[in-house]
Amino acid sequence: MSQRLHNRFIVVSYLFYIAIFGTATGLFLWLRDIRIYMRTGLAGYRRAARMGVLHTAITTAGAGEILLFPSVDILGIGIVLLGLWLQGQEKREQVFSNEPVLDRALGRTPARR
């Protein structure tokens, strides 16, 4: 029994690693929204930062589903993609105009308070 359980957690599908990357992406986007909100105080980024908790939880649940139930790994990838899609559907104000890609990705924006 313990040998079978041990092998279950070592041999995971390649989709698990994709799901972990998607979860890390959702977490990164959530933290970026928090940073932009703290620097600008815009209401759209406040809502996105608050909803980012739920979206990150959804993506984490999808990755956990793949780890615990590898026979239905497509369902887990679907849950991760749902969380990432919901993350992108939040309405946000435009804070960037012609900044470089790295500044946009890291959420570097001038403080507007």
Question: Is 100 inside a domain boundary?
Answer: yes
Of all residues in the chain, what percent carry a pLDDT higher than 90?
49
AA identity, residue 28: F
Question: Is 44 inside a domain boundary?
Answer: yes
Alpha-helical regions (H) of the chain = 2-10, 14-40, 43-68, 73-88, 101-106
Cα distance between residue 100 and residue 56, in whole Å: 26
Write out the residue range of the structural domain in which residue 16 sits: 2-106
Question: Is 35 inside a domain boundary?
Answer: yes
Residues 6+ apart with CB under 8 A from 65: 72, 75, 76, 79
Question: Is 18 inside a domain boundary?
Answer: yes
Radius of gyration for the chain, computed over Cα atoms and rounded to the nearest angstrom: 17
Read off the pLDDT band of 102 (50, 70, 90).
confident
Question: Is 31 inside a domain boundary?
Answer: yes
Question: Is 112 inside a domain boundary?
Answer: no
| Average pLDDT score over residue span 57-85 | 93
Number of domains in the chain: 1
C-alpha angle 108/23/47, rounded to 5°? Answer: 55
Question: Is 113 inside a domain boundary?
Answer: no
Read off the pLDDT band of 1 (50, 70, 90).
very low
Predicted model pTM: 0.81
Cα distance between residue 38 and residue 16, in whole Å: 33
Residue among 87, 105, 96 at smallest CA distance from 42: 96
In degrees rounded to 5, what are phi and psi of residue 29?
-65, -35
